[in-house]
Each structure stands twice: as structure tokens, then as C-alpha cells.
Structure 1
Amino acid sequence: MSLIRLPIRLTKYRKKHLMSVIFLTCLFTTLILTIHIPIPGFVMNIYYWIKPDKSVFCHYIRTKEEDNLPDISAAVPKEGQSIFFHETSCNSLINGKITIKARQACAVESAALMNPHHEVYLLYASPGKFLFQNTESDRFLKELLKYPNVNILHLDLEKYFKDSPVENLYAEGIIRQSRFAQSHTSDVLRFLTLWKYGGIYLDLDVIVTKPLEGLGTDFSGIESNTSVAAGILSFNYTGIGHEYATDCLEDLKYNFKGSDWGWNGPGTVTRLLKRLCNVNKVPEMRNRTCKGFKIYPPSEFYSIPWWNWKWFFDPLQMDAINHATANSHIIHVWNKFSTTVKIPINSLGVPYLEFAKKYCPSIIKQCDQYF
């Protein structure tokens, strides 16, 4: 009898052990994402081992040149006439080829469509190359490549960071052990890219609704009463613009915080502009130009604040959004909150989808079921 019961007891023990592991993993993940204190690097290494899709492990993998997209080091971006996007996830390496999501592709198409005289660069930090197999993502990439001003390239981060003011953040694994590794890599890269080439940086959760060329060469926009955002950011490739980009990189070199989601992106540009404008409060710099740097009001880029992000998915808010964004150059949909909300492609009157149909029509036509 005991021999019969033994496998049953072992099975019960394994189930109990498995449930304990799942519970501890969930608890560990929750603590990592909610406790706003510095966390030891070895702890973050364990977390990213459990959640590789959240990590930047692929940024440190050396691959053959033929297994990657062409590197940006071989390109010559137009000085002051380039728009840059950064894709910092490891999805392409995990998927075995370059991939893109519908909303990311929409951001890139809208920038290319509305700014035909600008070169648009979509830069992948993950290794990978095109492998067209007629998936939805493949079709998105093909549509983007039809635009003569779209360039989809690779970033060799070891080369890209080398001999820059923030070389230490990559070489010493500081970003890799950040609690928000992908987001913080994007934060640093936007300042580094504009330091190298000048131009305009855009987040991948925007839709460009007007040409950007009339905005100036050095600018950003207020997001709220406490923050100047970095979802759109412009520095000139020379002169004071380059000096300000250098200031931002020096700030990051010495003050990078891996435990604070907003410190290294919006925090960096907010600290810069408080110094330039000699103010302590963000509203005091609204619509001002401080030492050559223009600070636009929320209506230009962030007319719908993050706490109202659900408006973009609510047909009842269509009129309100049209009114709020009438003078906006971009709409920002706050991917941090909205990324899991799917919009059926046959939906009617959903504001985000209606903007997409107008400003990224080629991408919308290639969506299977959802946007």
C-alpha cells in the first residue's frame, strides 16, 4: 500500500513546490517593480534571468555582421534633418528576425509621411536581420521600406557608446542592471544620438500629425506641472544645441538612477531647462525660449495628459480629443499604460485608430485583427 501511495505523495509535493516557486516569482517581480529604492545588481540579474523579455541581454551579444541589419556607423544622417526612433527590446533576437509592432510602425510611417524632406531612422539595438515570411510584422516592415526617407538600421551599442561621455553606463553594465533596463537604455540613447548627429528624437508611441520642420532646432515640450517630457526632443548638431546635449550626457554619466523610471529621460531634460531658465517650477518655463532652447506648452505634444490616456480608446472622447489636438504636432498615447489595450481593426470612432487611419494608412491596411 505504501508503494502505491508514494507516487501520489511525490506528485502532491511537486505541485506544492511548483506553486511555492510561482508565488515567490510573482512576489519577487512585484517587489522589483514597485519598491523605489536602489536594488543590488545581482538581484536585477536574477530578475532578468526570470524575465528575459524585459532585459537588454541582447545588447551585449556579439553576432556576425551578416546576421544583422547594416549598422548606423556606415550611414551619414542629414545634419539637422533627421528624425530618430530607438527600438531597445530584445524581441528581434528572441523572434529570430527583425520584428515590429503595429503601433511602433504607425509612429514611423507618420513621421515619414508628414516629413518627406527629413531622413527617418528606426534603430534596433537588438541583433537581427530581415526574414520576410509574410507575417503581419513582415508586412509592416515592407510598407515602411517603401518610403524613400525611411532607414532601418542596427546599433552596435559597444561601438556607439565608446568614446562618448556615457561610455561607462554601457561598459560597466550600469544600464543593464537598471530596474527599467529597456526604457532607460532608450532614455540614454536619445541624448547620445542627438549628441552625435543632431535632429529630432521621437518615442515609438506617437503619431505625427503635422510637419516638424517649423519647430526649431532646439526644443522640447512640457508634459505636466512637474515635468518637461522627452517623448519628442531636438538638439542642433552644432553650437548651443550640441552643448546642451553634452550637458545632458554629463548629467547621466554622474547621476544615472536605475531605480527611478522617469529620472533619466524627462528628469534629465527637466533639470537642464530649470538651469537654463533659472526657475524651480516647470510652469514658469511654459512657452519660453531660454538661452536658445524652446519649451513648448503641453498642447503641442502632450495635449492629452497621461492620466487621461484611456481617452484615446474611447469613442465618446473623439470630439474632445479633436479639439485638444487641433494645434498639436504629435499625439502621444502613453504606451506605458496603454500597450495591452487592443483595438479591433474594424472598430468605429476609436480616436487612436481614427488618427492611425489618417496618418499611417499603409500600416493600418496590413493589420490582421487588431491595432
Structure 2
Amino acid sequence: MLKSLKVSAFILLVFAVGFLSRINHEDSKFFLFRKISFNVFSSDNILNNILSEGNGIIFLEITDRMDPPALVLCSIESAARVYHDRPVVFFMNGLPDLKSEDDQIQARKILPVLSSFDNVYLFPLRMEKLYADTPLFSWYKKIKPELEKFWIHVSSDGCRFASIWKYGGIYMDTDVISLRPIPHKNFLAAESLTVCSSSVFGLDDHHNFTWKCMEDFVKNYNGAVWGHQGPSLLTRVMKEWCVVPTFHNTDDASCGSIPYLHPQRIYPIAYPSWRRYFQVWPKIPTFNDSYSLHLWNYMNNRNMRVVPGSNTLVDHLFKQHCPTTYASLLTQESVV
């Protein structure tokens, strides 16, 4: 009896070991499959990982051009230097989809001036994907770009709101030269005493203010009026969000809990005087009250050039804040 019980126990033990081994083998295959699946290259996964902390600096290229002018490169380089511990992402409409890790490596080589900055990343801009799950999606599906007078501008306006909504961080136009870090995570900036800027602003991802901006974009859309979806929109939403801030001297104000930067922080040279950037100054200003400088490239319809050694204000700014871009200008002709 005892012997038969031992034999039975041994058989059960062998069966149990075999069963557990099979389970472990199947689990091993499952975890291996899961690991392989998670390691499959995904541009979206990499992008989400890079911007996961909500502290990225975001630039957009709405056109298909793949050879951006010097001012665009300077804007990105200066941001990469000032925000050296934060990711700087450049969305390019003309960039092919990234289907492999090698594609991501090759993308960085497209712009040699920026390739040495480890915190600069290039990703394709896909508007339909960016607008998904936002109020802008329905507008985008029915709009006819060929009939829009300012399509590049209004689509840029939409993309900046959608990208900040999804990822958070700071949005900057590609004609903004960074001088020093903006010390706020959430902020709006005044373009003038009465207008809120859309060229530089920072908000947490999924911030209610950004959602209201997208709702206003669709509700009050008017593509025939330049700036209606940009500075005018932010000014409208700000007036609904808070009592219109007033400035005392050069101190910043606030819109509710959102800091509202004085025009000196980004726009020490107002748009009627934009040509001063291309003039020689008796003494180069320090811009000690500014975090960044907006160069009003939209006004520059004559394509005034950055000429190395010209001693103009923009020449000094390039030399100091984007020296790699400036060095490239010494050997090739570039247009701001």
C-alpha cells in the first residue's frame, strides 16, 4: 500500500513538474512576444516618450520645405542652447513618416546645423493625427485649403493649440530667438498692451485654457482675416478667462492663475519698428528684461538678409545666440 502511494505521488509530481514547465514555457513565449511588440519602432511612441514630462519646446514647419532659412535654424538652435535640459521638437510637414530607428537617425541629418544638439528632435507633422480627439478635427475634415487666403497661417494656429493641448510645454514661432529661460511653466505673453501673443505661450497638457482656444477657433473661424485665429483668438479667450490684465511699469501681470508676461519679455521691439533688427545700432542693447525676441518675420516681405559682419543688430544676435547657424552663414548665403 505504502509502495503504491509512493509511486502515485511520484507520478503526480512528474505530471505537476511537466505542467508547470509547460506553463513557464508558454509564459516565456508570451513575455518574449510582448517584449518584441513593445520594441517595435513607433514614431508616436518615441514622440510621446520624449514629450512625456510636458516640458518640451515645440516648433512647427507647416510648409513642405526641407531647407528652412537661417532664422528658423537660429530659433531652434537658440532654444536648444537656452533649454539645454529640455527636449526641443521640430515638427516638419515635409518629413517622411519614420518607420525605423534608422529613419529617426537619418532625420537628424537633414539639418546639419542642428544635428550636434542631442536635445533637438525632428518628427513628421500630420495634421489629421494631431487634430484627432480635439475640437479642431471636424473643422479640418471639412475645410478646403485651396480656398483659404491664409491657409499656412491658420493651419499653423490650429497646430500650435493642438500640440500644446496634447503634449504641453512651450510653443514658439520659428522667428523667435531665445535669450534666457522663461521661468514659468504656464504663461501667456502680451504682444502689446492690448493684444495677447500667439507666437510664444506655455501651458500644461490638457489645460482648459487651450481647450477653450480650440473651441473658439472652430466657433468663430474666419480665415479671411489675418491673425483672427492667432493673437485675436488668444485675446478673445483671455477676456473670457479673466479680467483683462493691466501692466504697471514693466512688471508682469496675471490672468487668473496664469502669469501674463509684459511685452518687454518677448517684444521689446514692437512690430512697427521691426526693421530695426536689420539696422546698425550705436550701442547693442542688452535686452535684460527679455526672455526671447520676436523678429516679426511676417513683416519682412522683402526678405532682408542676415549678413555676417554687417554689424546690424540681427548680426550680433545670431553671433551670440546661434553661433552654429552663424558659422554656416559665413560659407553660404542664407535668407531670414
Query: How does the TM-score come out when normalised to structure 1?
Result: 0.70
Aligned to 2:202: 234
Which of 302, 305, 326 is the aligned partner of 2:288?
A: 326
Percent of pairs identical after alignment?
26
Decide whether the 8 Å contact of 1:202 with 1:233 is kept in 2: yes
Decide whether the 8 Å contact of 2:268 with 2:293 is kept in 1: yes
* 1:89 matched to 2:63: yes
* 1:255 matched to 2:255: no
* 1:171 matched to 2:135: no
Gaps of at least 5 residues in structure 1 are 1-69, 92-97, 131-137
Distance in 2 (alpha carbons) for counterparts of 1:161 and 1:177:
20
Which amino acid in structure 1 is aligned with residue 288 of structure 2?
A
Which of 295, 305, 321 is the aligned partner of 2:260?
A: 295
Distance 1:304 1:258, change over 3 A: same
Post-superposition offset of 1:283 = 5.9
Which amino acid in structure 2 is aligned with residue 288 of structure 1?
A
Distance in 1 (alpha carbons) for counterparts of 2:132 and 2:145:
15
Distance in 2 (alpha carbons) for counterparts of 1:73 and 1:124:
17
For 1:78-227, list aligned pairs within 5 A.
78-91=52-65, 98-128=66-96, 141-174=111-144, 177-212=147-182, 214=183, 216-227=184-195
- The count of aligned residue pairs is 280
Post-superposition offset of 1:72 = 4.7
Aligned to 1:353: 315
Distance 1:288 1:176, change over 3 A: farther
Decide whether the 8 Å contact of 1:112 with 1:150 is kept in 2: yes
Post-superposition offset of 1:307 = 0.3
Which amino acid in structure 2 is aligned with residue 301 of structure 1?
I
Describe the SS at the equivalent of 1:331.
Answer: strand
Decide whether the 8 Å contact of 1:125 with 1:155 is kept in 2: yes
Distance in 2 (alpha carbons) for counterparts of 1:340 and 1:127:
28
Distance 1:286 1:172, change over 3 A: farther
Post-superposition offset of 1:339 = 5.1
CA deviation profile, 1:114-172 (whole Å, cap 9, x unmatched):
11111000001235489xxxxxxx98811212111000110222222122111022111
Bigger proportion of residues as helix: 1
Distance 1:278 1:201, change over 3 A: same
Post-superposition offset of 1:226 = 3.0
Post-superposition offset of 1:71 = 4.5
Distance in 2 (alpha carbons) for counterparts of 1:263 and 1:162:
22
Distance in 2 (alpha carbons) for counterparts of 1:263 and 1:344:
30
Distance in 1 (alpha carbons) for counterparts of 2:260 and 2:92:
29
CA deviation profile, 1:294-327 (whole Å, cap 9, x unmatched):
1111110011000000100010x363x615x222
Which amino acid in structure 2 is aligned with residue 116 of structure 1?
H
Post-superposition offset of 1:357 = 0.8
Which of 261, 275, 280 is the aligned partner of 2:240?
A: 275
Distance 1:248 1:292, change over 3 A: same
Distance in 2 (alpha carbons) for counterparts of 1:176 and 1:110:
34
Name which one, 1 or 2, has greater alpha-carbon Rg. Answer: 2
Decide whether the 8 Å contact of 2:109 with 2:115 is kept in 1: no
